[in-house]
Amino acid sequence: MRALMLDIAILLEDGWPGIDWEELAERAVTAAIAHSPYAAFVNSAATYEIAVKLTSDEEVHQLNRAYRDKDKPTNVLSFPMVQCDLLEGTANTDDGEVLLGDIVLAEGVCAREAQGKGISIADHAAHLIVHGTFHLLGYDHMVDAEAEAMEALEIRALANLGLPDPYGDRETGD
């Protein structure tokens, strides 16, 4: 089996800690894809492209307002470029490249959430990149059944990265 052909562009703005974001994003995206129904992409001849932008709360606030009509920053936004019903056929691209989409993380929100969870910003960002990748692959969490399916995939992908279940601290029966 050959390695997944990924081209991950990291756009890093001031405020984020100095870690190897390219390596972290590549590991997170690879784990998400490998634990999805699209794991066959691993053997594909196509190169899958994702841009990960690590930016400010202010920029994410503007994007959230413009694209989701929510007037506040959020931890992660995803902008898929391939319709979910067309993902299966992406390996047959004419130019050998598939732009899956963009993932945008807000530094302040990510840092506050990580601190609240007692984990590093890198570990929380890895979870958010996994989460964002599943959105690029057509997953959502608008209804309970979809949320449970997406969370189960995230938990398996994160375990592959050596990270704990981020949803394990929730109360059951809510």
Taking the C-alpha atoms of residue 95 and residue 52, their distance in angstroms, rounded to an integer, is 22
Beta bridge partners of 116: none
- Give the span between the Cα atoms of 87 and 80, in whole angstroms: 11
Of all residues in the chain, what percent are helix, strand and coil, respectively (each to 5)?
50, 20, 35
76-80 and 97-106 beta bridge pairing: antiparallel
124 marked as part of a ligand binding site: no
141 assigned binding-site residue:
yes
Residue of 111, 113, 84 whose CA lies nearest to 100? 84
C-alpha torsion sign, points 119, 122, 123, 128: positive
Give residue for tokens 């299966």. 88
The reply to whether 127 sits in an annotated binding site is: no
Residues that constitute the known binding site for Zn(2+)? 131, 135, 141
